[in-house]
Structure 1
Amino acid sequence: MRNYKRKTDKGKYSIDMLEKAAEVVREGRSVRHAAKTYNICHVTLGRYIKKKNKRLNAVDINFREEWKPLAGYYGNRQVFTPLQEIALVSYIKTCSDIYFGLTPRDVRHLAFLCGKKYNVPMPNTWSDKELAGADWLSSFLKRHPDLSIRTPEATSLGRASSFNRANVSKFFDKLSEVYDRHSFTANDIWNVDETGVTTVQNPSKIVARKGVKQIGAMTSSERGQLVTLTVAVNAAGNAIPPMFIFPRVRYYDHFIRDGPTGCIGAANKSGWTTEVDFLLFLKHFVSCIRSSPEKPILLLLDNHQSHLAPDCLDFAKENGIVMLSFPPHCTHRLQPLDRSVFAPLKKQINTAMDAWLRNNKTPESTVKPMSIYDIPSILKIAFPTATTPKNIQQGFEKCGIHPYNREIFQDADFAPSFVTDRPDPDLAPSCSHDVSRDSQGTPVQSFSNCSHTPEKFSPEVVLPLPKVAPRKRKGGRKTRKSAILTDTPEKKAIEEEFAKRGTPGLIKKKGNVSQTRMPAKSTPKRSLKRRSAECSSSEEERECFCLVCLESFSTSKPGEEWVRCLNCQLWSHFSCAKKSKMYICHNCQSDEISE
């Protein structure tokens, strides 16, 4: 029976009461007298005393018999003992903490492997399927309510391994250095970052008919266009008007006509932030906050290539902006905008887009498709709602930036870095336990901070914890780190790095070993290219993105064909361009129509 309900109260006597009655019997009184004194069934008391004497006098007792209770009912069909299940629970939690969690099927397979390894009696169906039963997993989760089946959030290996105590400590060392050098207040500590807004929203939850397998919601199109949004907030809870970057060759003022008050805009062929665009934003930033060398401010930002341009660093230093960069792949935990602003902003944008689709219809009562020029009007509604002082201040507090708290992250936050080959020995997850006994000889579970599980039963021996090989850097890209970018040594090093690169050129071919960059005067011979599985050149190449689906060229499939626009010379998938070699992208077509 899967869910048995007891019909009597038999076998519910406490161990303390049975032990007191047994002590009376050991003093010379009869079993019936002791049972009557403590209102216990004399048969239950006699059985308890017999089992305990047998267990204490045994020279070598079976491991499973050792865990059977001396009184009351127990699960005869339970495969693993309580101690073994505790080891399984500890191992499952450890795998989840290091971002290599086990699926329900993995847990069932692990149970079978452990039973086979340690000769645990198992049902025949386990051996036939090499898998524990679904009923066992259901009962296992009921016996351990601290476990549940969850949907994990996708996290890249770079973020999991880079967010470790060493990198975070270096960042807080730099942060404390600028705090000691300047007397920054909450109004002087700023964070800037970019995010993408597309014309295709994620529909909000709706109320619909129960029992229907699939519920749909209207969106503007299947593949949207992306507009880059640059946002800056400070620790006091304030935000400056944002900046929009449109995927257009030329920028016109009417692009942001309906946008938030005071916002600015720019345009380039890709729609991504470039050095020129970020310099324009810095000028807008200075005009809003009025910083100067006499009144400096702190600007926290990531190591994006556009942020490191020498012109941007020169302008920042001239206007009293101290630029401090985050460690690579750590912004998901260290950047206030990522912690508490961008998530509610995207939610408000989706809600505003749903309302926009309902309110904007053609005279024929059909839904009007959304364009990138409608995004500023949507941000005018969503931006003030998401960038509230409470949201912004919580982001700075959760990151330990303001108020300053370098101990904000605990050992559990650094657990995912355990899978790399560079773990900190002091941060090894506590996944093991030792077996000890109390005064009555009953095994007691005690945990320790070592990396080995008990010798008798160890899931880690059956299925070792994953270890990841060191990452191999491609293309000779420089390894970034947390640094004060406007300090003279760092600034000079970046200027020398940019000087060695020379003038960026046009995209040619892509190899999987290194990226190649063609000279500025070089022009491609063909308008159609194919991604090769072998390295086709020893020079460097600039990254590009499909103008239609925004997929990067470095992540495209080997052998996939790309075609270049005849006007703007940017690339798209051959399939996205409707398999036309005489290709003119939608950006150029819209510019021709507007003219």
Structure 2
Amino acid sequence: MPSRNHLDKIGQKKKKKWTEKAMEKALIEVKSGRCTVRQAAKEFGVPKSSLGDRVSGRVTPGSRSGPAQLITSADEQLLVEFSLYMSKHGFPLTKQQVVSFASSIYKRQHRRVAFSKLGQTWWLNFRKRQEKNISIQPADSIVRGRTVCVRKEAVDQFFCLLSSVIEAHRLRDKPYQIYNCHELGFQLGRKRVNLPKSTSLGCKPVAGSRDHVSVLVCFSAAGEDIPPFIVYSKAYPGGVCYKTEGPLNALYGWSDSGCINSDLFKKWFLKHFLVWAPKERPLVLIFDGHKSPVNLEVVESARKEDIVLLCLPPYCSHILQPLDAGLFAELKQRFASLTDDTSAPNTHFAVSKKEFSSVFKKTYQLSKEEEGIRTVKEGFSKCGIYPLNRFAINGSNLMPSHSISSITEAKPSV
């Protein structure tokens, strides 16, 4: 695997000492008949062989030397703009994510190629070409790591970003244009299980005998919802009852783990959120994008549709996620009450994948009731999202301040 120093040395050895402008002038002189190839090469300081290739037509004038570029300059510029956008909205990309997005662009251009050719060499050359546009900074272990308390600087940076977005788009009095989406998980056992009184889940998983189902829930600060997205593990349940008996206008999908991934989030955003979201623009969509990174198509579509994507700081869901702060606890309690076994205290009936959608439909009905709508609004208020209030966050949940290097807007980190 080539190092950065090795590529720098190669670049120094092969760096050309002539300009395309000089080559164009030499080519004009030769084609006009005023000079021979040798004379023009000597006069304008360009290689005779390179000039001869252009005169004979073997090389197209203005073409770049070296191996063919894996992704076009226009697509590379799109990747840079994407990286800058993500960094400014709370999603600083890692090296692996940049290479992954670049690979998806490459595969889009070469659909018949089964694997990506982009690797360490491409990454190092990309960094060198774009060193004026992006900067590479080591991830802060406290920000990236899993901590008991959230660091104050991370919360302050998020509220600074949120405040600037709300002010710039004049959304201070428009709660119906500020949305939060989050994933709610359920473990479905195949047997009846005893649940301790302190549990918040409807069903406790039985070891080796459970299915995981996730529901992507999305609400505005005004209490208006986007129909839920239900994701099953491994495969859909048999039959069509899981759709016909589920929540109205719900979307369905599946993944190996039963959790939302990048492809499913793209499906939800492009084919569901954009369909059911209000036509007023702009919209703000707040979510935890670190577990399920958004992809290039989602960001392109969001910018085209005038939707601002805002990412919460890592591991801040318990204090900054409006749905976590209110509605989810109510939904879990309602789900548990619907599966109560009245003949045995503290015992719940297991729910199968086939039965889940019908049970969740009754659970989700809570969000349509006055109590549920009030709970959603209270969640946004508790987190200081709407009304915008930085001091709504309890300071006891935050780590003490200490200096960190901030990310500049001119050269966001990757």
TM-score (norm 2): 0.54
Amino acid at match of 2:352: S
| 1:272 matched residue in structure 2 | 259
**Structure 1 ranges of 4+ moved more than 6 A:** 217-220, 487-490
1:403 matches 2:392: no
Aligned to 2:360: 379
> What's the counterpart of residue 179 of structure 1?
166
Q: Is 1:194–1:231's contact at 8 Å kept on the other side of the alignment?
A: yes
**Relative to 1, partners in 2 of residues 1:368 and 1:170: Cα closer, same or farther, differing over 3 Å?**
closer
Match of 1:189 among 158, 178, 198: 178
Shift of 1:330: 1.0
Instruction: Report which of the two has the higher share of helix.
Output: 2
Distance in 1 (CA, whole Å) between partners of 2:382 and 2:274 is 27
- Choose 265-274 or 221-230, whichever is displaced more: 221-230
Q: Structure 1's 183 and 375: CA in aligned 2 closer, same or farther, altered over 3 A?
A: same
Q: Distance in 1 between matches of 2:152 and 2:387?
A: 20
Q: Name the CA shift for 1:370/1:331 in 2 (closer, same or farther; >3 Å).
A: closer
What is the match of residue 434 of structure 1? none
1:324 aligned counterpart, secondary structure: strand
Q: Deviations over 1:177-235 (max 9, x none)?
A: 101111221100100011211224774869xxxxxxxxxx9989554211111000111
Aligned to 1:311: 297
Alignment of 1:85-484 (within 5 A): 158-161=146-149, 163-184=150-171, 185-200=174-189, 203=195, 223-249=209-235, 253-282=240-269, 283-291=271-279, 295-354=281-340, 370-386=351-367, 388-414=372-398, 417-418=399-400, 423-424=401-402
Relative to structure 1, is the Cα distance of residues 338 and 219 closer, same or farther in structure 2, using a 3 angstrom cutoff? closer
Q: CA deviation at 1:305?
A: 4.5
SS at match of 1:242: strand
Q: 1:239 to 1:389 in 2, by over 3 A?
A: same
Secondary structure of 1:270's partner? coil
Paired residue type of 1:270: S
Deviation at 1:237, TM superposition (A): 1.3
Residue pair 2:367, 2:373 contacting (<8 A) in 1 also: no
Q: Is the 8 A contact 1:255 1:265 kept in 2?
A: no
Contact 1:248–1:268 at 8 Å: present in 2 too?
A: yes
**Shift in CA distance, 243/357, structure 1 to aligned 2, threshold 3 Å:** farther
SS of the residue aligned with 1:401?
coil
Shift of 1:372: 1.1
Against the structure 1 CA distance between its residues 482 and 304, is the aligned structure 2 distance closer, same or farther, given a 3 Å change threshold? farther
Residue 311 of structure 1 and its aligned partner are, at CA, apart by 1.7
Deviation digits for residues 262-313 of structure 1 (CA, Å, limit 9, x no counterpart):
1110112222212221112112111112447xx2100001123434211221
Distance, in Å, in 1 between the alignment partners of 2:303 and 2:183 is 21
* Corresponding letter in the other structure for 1:409: I
Number of residues of Structure 1 aligned to a counterpart in Structure 2:
253
Task: Kindly indicate whether the alpha-carbon contact (under 8 Å) linking 2:266 and 2:298 is maintained by their aligned counterparts in 1.
Answer: yes
Output the CA distance in 2 between the equivalents of 1:277 and 1:205: 34
Compared CA separation, residues 202 and 345, structure 1 to 2 (3 A) = farther
Structure 1 CA distance for aligned equivalents of residues 203 and 160 of structure 2: 49
3-state SS of 2:224 partner? coil
SS class of match (2:299): helix
Give the aligned CA root-mean-square deviation in angstroms. Answer: 3.7
**CA 1:369–1:160 in 2, change beyond 3 Å: closer, same or farther?**
closer
Provide Cα deviations, 1:496-537, integer angstroms capped at 9, x if missing partner: x7xxxxxxxxxxxxxxxxxxxxxxxxxxxxxxxxxxxxxxxx
Please give the alpha-carbon distance, in whole angstroms, between the structure 2 residues aligned to 1:243 and 1:424: 40
| CA shift digits 1:238-266 (9 cap, x unpaired) | 22211111113468754322111111101
Residues 120-176 of structure 1 show CA distances to partners (whole Å, capped at 9, x for unaligned) of xxxxxxxxxxxxxxxxxxxxxxxxxxxxxxxxxxxx982424x12211110010001
- Cα separation, 2, equivalents of 1:250 and 1:218: 20
- SS of the residue 2:227 aligns to: coil
- Specify whether residues 336 and 202 from structure 1 end up closer, same or farther in structure 2 by C-alpha distance, changes over 3 A only: farther
Q: Which whole-Å CA distance do the structure 1 matches of 2:222 and 2:301 have between them?
A: 24
Structure 1 residues not aligned, in runs of 5+:
1-155, 207-216, 359-366, 426-480, 498-595
Find the aligned partners of 1:244 and 1:482 in 2 and give their Cα distance.
Answer: 36
Higher CA-based Rg: 1
Could you tell me how far 1:413 is from its partner in structure 2? 3.0
Classify 1:355/1:182 alpha carbon distance in 2 versus 1 (closer, same or farther; 3 Å): farther
Task: Report sequence identity in percent.
Answer: 25
Query: What is the letter of the counterpart of residue 329 of structure 2?
Result: A
TM-score (norm 1): 0.38
Q: Could you say if the C-alpha distance between residues 357 and 242 of structure 1 is closer, same or farther in structure 2, counting changes exceeding 3 Å? A: farther
Q: Specify whether residues 369 and 186 from structure 1 end up closer, same or farther in structure 2 by C-alpha distance, changes over 3 A only.
A: closer
- Gapped runs of 5+ residues in structure 2? 1-143
From the superposition, tell whether residues 250 and 371 of structure 1 become closer, same or farther in structure 2 (CA, over 3 Å).
closer
CA distance in 1, matches of 2:291, 2:203: 37
- Provide the rounded CA distance (Å) in 1 between the counterparts of 2:195 and 2:177: 37
Matches of 1:181 and 1:372, distance apart in 2: 45
Question: 1:345-395 CA deviation, whole Å, 9 max, x = no partner?
Answer: 11111111226999xxxxxxxx98631121111111111215611100000
Do the aligned partners of 2:185 and 2:214 also contact (CA within 8 Å) in 1? Answer: yes
Q: Secondary structure at the match of 2:365?
A: helix
**Equivalent residues in 2 for 1:571-586, closer than 5 Å:** none
Deviations 1:550-592 (A, max 9, x none): xxxxxxxxxxxxxxxxxxxxxxxxxxxxxxxxxxxxxxxxxxx
